[in-house]
Amino acid sequence: MKIDMYSKLITVCAVFTFSSTLHYEGVSGAKILISAIYGEGSHFLAASAIGESLLKRGHEVTFLISNAYDHRAKDPKYDKFSFEIFNHSVPAERVQRIMNAANHVAFQESNDQFSNLTKSIMELTGQSCKNVITDRALMRRLKAMDAIMMDISWPCGIYIKAALQKDREIPKDLKMIANSPTTLWSGFVSASGSPFNFAYMPETMTGFTNRMNFLQRLKNIVQSILIQASIDSSMLYSFRKMEREVGLQNIVDPFYGYTDFDLYLSNIHFSSDFPVPMVPNLISVGGLTAKPAGRLQNELEEFVQSSGDHGVIVFTLGTYLASITTIRPEIVTMFAEAFRRLPQKVIWQLKELPDWELPSNVKAMPWLPQNDLLGHPKTRVFMYQGGNNGFQEACYHGVPIVVIPLQGDQYDVAARIEARGLGKKIEKLELNADIIYDTLTEVINNPSYNEVADKVSAIYKDQPMSAPDRAAFWIEHVIKFGGAYMRSPANDLTFIQYHLIDVYAFLTAIVVVFLAVVYYTLKFCVSLCCRMIGRGSSGKSKTE
């Protein structure tokens, strides 16, 4: 009888658990919108790796891109993705020029040009988002989405959600995922509710490591304030203007409103980055574009093999600076001079050849199969400008690095490379043929760089899932369960509460009161004693 009851109970429980798990199954076929700036450059490449993993898991992936980069939609590499293309209100050529110019100013030292450029980029930021939100047909199609993953460099996803909400057109709950393509920035980390401790976490664009002296820690905080101020006055300003124009004000949270996202993906990996604390829904997915090397084309493979035991050097300054021949011809001469003296062969990403002949050990190519080259056993060193994707690919394949940071967060990547002992940095203003030659020779011939790179690579590969698969797993996870259960309450607290200033003030007050009580009690006792002693001695003298 008793046993029967138990078994019934167990069956009931089993049915209960079974049905509740069933409820959370079956999210294959979720519709996910991915926004990676306008479809531009390295941000798109990293996001498309996540997109491919989502496809593998049976989801529908749509990229939101602009007409300036609509070639993505025609590229057979991406034919399994859907594309939503919006039109900029300025000509596509102007958009491309602005986005490219950011890379062109790298070798020019004029700050004016840079601030003008920043202004153009920021204007474009709000304007482009308005182009999306006011495209009614497009917005109607976006209603069907289950999740939006947006690159924080262009946080239009927040406004898309707000616009859908405003028209009460949001179906169920639209899940939001933020994706940061660079090394950690305090704004992104804090938005997730994770602590950002300026004592040992270097702010973005400082080029600091996690060991900072007093002045560096001071600069670290000041840099953070400056970045926030410049974002408020440029990007946020641009979005605020757009909000007013489309009637969205008071709907979007301040601070971009991304403190309530379900998931935060960061393109870092702790084998090569500085260890930091993270809340459960801030996930490191470093190495998105790194994968096992594919075969090289015959001609390139032959060139690589012809290097013999000396091996090859892979050299690029990025897609945009591949046209450096016309921007700064003397820099091309400088590198060629250094390469001429090396026994290695050099594969150089260079779009336009100079009018003189390159050294015979150099092969110039307009585009490099970078990941396949870095994974080639003959590759000895990777010389490049310090982008995050390239950093992860070199780490994954265990290739030592010579880094020539040109701007922004490339200095942060350089700091990580030197701090780990993965390679060496050359300052762009100190560039000359001797320094290039000496640094390359040092990194190739000193075995310590290779040993570190091998270990970092082994750690990279010692994980149950590839980086894009990990990202896809977590996206699917929050589509099923939401991210609220992992959310840190840090952003709901006031500054005083978060830093426990009220508690410390209270404790200080107690100590002060206690000390005051002790002090005045003692003072009272002492004076009492003095008086008694005084009276006693005077009494004594009387009786004598």
Ligand X SMILES: *[C@@H]1O[C@H](CO)[C@@H](O)[C@H](O)[C@H]1NC(C)=O
The contact set with ligand X (CB under 6 A) reads 67, 87, 135
Cα distances (Å, whole numbers) of residue 211 to 186, 200, 216, 391: 17, 6, 9, 21
- Cα–Cα distance for residue pair 437/443, rounded to 1 Å: 10
Residue 500's φ and ψ, nearest 5 degrees, are: 60, 30
For residue 166, the one-letter residue type is K
Token pair, residue 116, equals 């003008």
CB of 42 to ligand X, least distance (A): 26
- Cα–Cα distance for residue pair 183/267, rounded to 1 Å: 7
Q: Which is nearer to ligand X, 135 or 418 (CB)?
A: 135
CB of 45 to ligand X, least distance (A): 25
Q: Which is nearer to ligand X, 45 or 92 (CB)?
A: 92
CB of 134 to ligand X, least distance (A): 9
Q: Which is nearer to ligand X, 87 or 100 (CB)?
A: 87
Closest CA to 253 of 335, 324, 165, 354: 165
Q: Which is nearer to ligand X, 124 or 191 (CB)?
A: 124
Residues 59 and 28 sit within 8 Å (Cβ to Cβ): yes
Q: Which is nearer to ligand X, 246 or 327 (CB)?
A: 246
Residues 467 and 288 sit within 8 Å (Cβ to Cβ): yes
In a 3-state reduction of DSSP, which class is residue 349? strand
CB of 22 to ligand X, least distance (A): 41
CB of 145 to ligand X, least distance (A): 18
Core vs surface per residue 235-259: b (16+ CB within 10 A) or e:
bbebbbebbeeeebeeebeeebbbb
Q: Is the Cα torsion angle 223, 229, 231, 234 positive or negative in sign?
A: negative
Cα distances (Å, whole numbers) of residue 64 to 10, 32, 157, 261, 267: 49, 10, 10, 19, 20
The DSSP string of 186-199 is HHHHHHTT----TT
CB of 470 to ligand X, least distance (A): 36
Q: Which is nearer to ligand X, 129 or 263 (CB)?
A: 129
- Cα–Cα distance for residue pair 489/279, rounded to 1 Å: 10
Token pair, residue 236, equals 């946020």
CB of 65 to ligand X, least distance (A): 12
CB of 37 to ligand X, least distance (A): 18
Q: Which is nearer to ligand X, 102 or 139 (CB)?
A: 139
Q: Which is nearer to ligand X, 135 or 301 (CB)?
A: 135
